[in-house]
Chain A
Amino acid sequence: MRRSRWMGLAMVLVPLLFYAVFMLAPICQSFSYSFYKWDGHSAATWVGLDNYLSFVTDPVLASTLSHVLVLIGFFALLPIVLGLASAALITRRALPGMALFRFIYFLPQVLTSVVVALVFKRLYGPEGPINESLRAVGLGSWTKAWLGDFDWALPALGLIGTWVTFGFCMVLFISGVSSIPTELYEAARVDGAGPLREFFAVTLPGLRSQLAVALTLTITGALRTFDLVWVTTRGGPGTSTLTPAIALYRAAFENPQVGQAAAIGIVMALLCLLIAVAIGRIAERE
């Protein structure tokens, strides 16, 4: 018995070693960097928790967290609500061409995010199709530089995220609904439940684990947003669309503040971990 356990250890040793060298060691390194003020090359100075306190003392860095909250609304909540609604509608009756539907809605998920960003940058442009359509229907006064407007840039970016994650949520929920026993629906109907009642009594509880997966992936996705913002607004106008990931990149590569970058990275990792654990806990609770 004992021999086989040591055998097991020997088997996992190689992958474990890789994990230690390429995951654990860099994480520990980042963690230790985060307590220093360091340009990446010359001698570093110990600054204690200063890099972490920047999240409180530096209003720009603090604002990145509130931007993430807005993005979570667009990347996670909105697509999940839409995904649930469409999954509930679509699965009520087998429609011809369903596979095509699913394919079309899922398409954004397989597109490279840079391509998506470039396409939307064009759509949102001053001379882009969105403004042109507004002009065509006589709403010329509503046109604006969507991604260059302090009030609209963040929601405009958020809607790109909604477009990307909506299909993913929907497909996930459709597959979840199909695994709910049909007897439950029949029982609900026998009890005289309408479509709405049926949704809240059967569909939603049955999708608990899919909801957990969707929430975890989309919320951490929102927290990590980089490429979408980098390609479209670079955090502008001003700092109105700055995300923690962009702030991290700037600190690490543009302005040599490696310690600050490490602290941002650690905070992002902790938040992701916290969200994943919290959602997991809630989903497991009956």
Chain B
Amino acid sequence: MNKQTSPLKFLRLAVVSALALGLTACAPGSQAPDTAPTAAPVTSIDPASAGEVTLRLTDFWGANEGEWIESMVAQFEAKYPNIHIERTQEDWGQLTSTLNLQISEEAGPDIATANNGWQSLGTLAKGNLVLNLDQYAAAFGWDKLIPSTIARQNEFSTDFTKIGEGSLFGTPIARVQPIGIYYNIEKLTKLNVAPPATFAEFEAAAKKAKDAGEIPINYGSQDSPTAALLALQAVFGTAGSINDYVYGNPAVTAEQTGLTKAAETVQRWNEAGWFTPDHAGIDYQTAVANFVDGKGIFRFEYQGSLGLSVEQQSKFGYIQMRNENGGTVGVGASPAALVIATKCKNPDVAAAFLDFLMSQPAAQTAVDNGLIPLLHSDVTTPANMPLLKQEIEQIATIGESDGYVPYFDWASPGMLDVLVQQMQLMYGGRATPAELSTAVDVERNAFLAESAS
């Protein structure tokens, strides 16, 4: 061998140094500051005098939700001809799983829809990828506009150990999407049963349906069994206990939020054969399609998710079941948290757009598109939409009791997986309702311990 560097040696050296470089690279993410910097106070915001501004908006709204946001963009651009909003639509799963990456890109969105809770909004806030909106809340009067139960859903402490208090990192929109119960009007009438309002009435109706040979509750537990469980939790638990649990009060256990009782109930229904047979092999899409086709009398569902045509809407009714302790508690939130990217060059204009999405015209546009308004009650419902009218009336009872509770899976990033897995284990006879609650506590407490450390 000669002593001069041979190409092979050179190669080996290059590879080794590349490897070494990769290994010794500094700890990932270490550049990010521990706390988000607070921006200078905002004095006055007038989008009309902001000059030519283009904002990129990315959201996960399709169907009539998509029509709502398109209409809102058009209205905002008409109001301020100097502002242009370029909208990109992505599907929900795609956007929530990649938003963390997209929003740090130079060409990424200025405004985006984030999923509430730690999984998405919490991570974005903690990573300093989205703006702390406190100054805008003061400037636009959002603190007065947004009820505290809704505002909490977008709040994190600035040391990012707590959710549900502290600074505002996202805004709701003038729409809400709670979990409720849909029923097949024709079938219920045939059974000679009035739409149930309480849990006892609901069970009586379901029993009558079973005796008549109907499927009482349309269900599919293969990929999304949780709506029924969370709806029942809102029947048995109090709004205070569920809020406290999700927002990380370690003194409250899942059992105290009504979760165990809700799990016992769905298990009892499962054993009594009140759910669609073989629901373990039925996925969400199939279950919804079956229900719309007339299979099953009741279905626990996120409001507006059945995708009903105008003609189909006359065939279904909507119930917001009363809470066993009085009033109405509803699992519900604005269908997204709107965030402003830290790298957005015109945050004031972006904030003005968020403000517009919470305005009275936004609520009215929601109703016009068959969606449920939030933040404003002075809206007119089109006369030809009986289901929407009923939904608005039923859902209003939540607001009257100040009974909004956040989606339970906001408690920790892995909570939704735990709930789905535990429910499937329970239906498979491999876990008890009490074990489900324990697993939920373990998941949340592990997360609380982790974020406190």
Contact = CB atoms under 8 A, between A and B. Distances in A.
B424 interface: yes
A129 interface: no
Contacts of A38: 28-29
Contact of B417 (A20, A150, A254): A254
A68 B40 CA distance: 55
B127 A40 contact: yes
Among the interface residues A27, A46, A255, which one has the most CB atoms of the partner chain B within 10 A?
A255
Nearest to A237: B424
B421 to A, nearest CB: 5
A104 to B, nearest CB: 28
A42 B425 CA distance: 34
A194 B41 CA distance: 92
Contacts of B128: 41-42
A41 B126 CA distance: 8
A150 B129 contact: no
A236 B424 contact: yes
A28 B21 contact: yes
Nearest to B222: A148
B28 to A, nearest CB: 5
Interface string B13-37: 0110011011101011110101000
B19 A24 contact: yes
Among the interface residues B128, B129, B278, B414, which one has the most CB atoms of the partner chain A within 10 A?
B278
Interface size classification for chain B? 35 or more
Contacts of B4: 2
Given A5-B6, A150-B430, A43 B281 contact: no
B385 interface: no
A236 B222 contact: yes
B376 interface: no
B222 A33 contact: no
Given A6-B7, A9-B11, A42 B424 contact: no
A147 interface: yes
A25 interface: yes
A250 B93 CA distance: 12
Contacts of A16: 11
A15 interface: no
B307 interface: no
A124 B222 CA distance: 12
Contact of A42 (B6, B127, B414, B427): B127
Nearest to A146: B281
Interface string A1-21: 010011011000000100010
B447 to A, nearest CB: 10
A20 B18 contact: yes
B221 interface: yes
B119 A145 contact: no
Contacts of B11: 9, 16
Nearest to B160: A42
Contacts of A125: 281-282, 286
B32 A24 contact: no
B355 to A, nearest CB: 27
Contacts of B428: 149-150, 237-238
B263 to A, nearest CB: 15
B84 interface: no
A208 interface: no
A148 B29 contact: no
Contacts of A253: 97-98
Interface string B113-153: 00000010001101111000000000000000000000000
A182 to B, nearest CB: 44
B23 A32 contact: yes
Interface residues of A, number: 49
Nearest to B277: A126
A6 B34 CA distance: 49
Given A236-B222, A236-B421, A254-B417, A43 B278 contact: no
Interface string B278-299: 1111110010000000000000
B129 A41 contact: yes
Contacts of A27: 22
A148 B423 CA distance: 12
Nearest to B34: A43
A124 B279 CA distance: 13
B280 A29 contact: no
B23 A233 contact: no
Contact of A39 (B126, B223, B283): B126
A36 B23 CA distance: 12
Contact of A46 (B27, B280, B421): B27
B281 A148 contact: yes
A178 B18 CA distance: 46
Contacts of A9: 7, 10-11
A109 interface: no
A146 B278 CA distance: 9
B23 A40 contact: no
Contacts of B98: 253
Nearest to A126: B278
Interface of A: 2, 5-6, 8-9, 16, 20, 24-25, 27-29, 31-33, 36, 38-44, 46, 121, 124-126, 143-150, 233-234, 236-239, 250, 253-258
Given A24-B18, A238-B424, 4 more contacts: A38-B28, A41-B129, A144-B281, A145-B279
29 contacts: A2-B4, A28-B19, A31-B22, A31-B23, A32-B22, A32-B23, A32-B28, A38-B28, A39-B29, A39-B126, A40-B101, A41-B104, A42-B127, A43-B29, A44-B30, A145-B222, A145-B279, A145-B282, A148-B221, A148-B222, A148-B280, A234-B223, A236-B424, A237-B280, A238-B421, A253-B98, A254-B413, A255-B413, A256-B119
Interface of B: 4, 6-7, 10-11, 14-15, 18-19, 21-23, 25, 27-30, 32, 34, 97-98, 100-101, 104, 119, 123-124, 126-129, 160, 221-223, 277-283, 286, 413-414, 417, 420-422, 424-425, 427-428, 430
Question: 4 shortest A-B CB distances, which residue pairs?
Answer: A28-B22, A145-B281, A41-B127, A148-B280
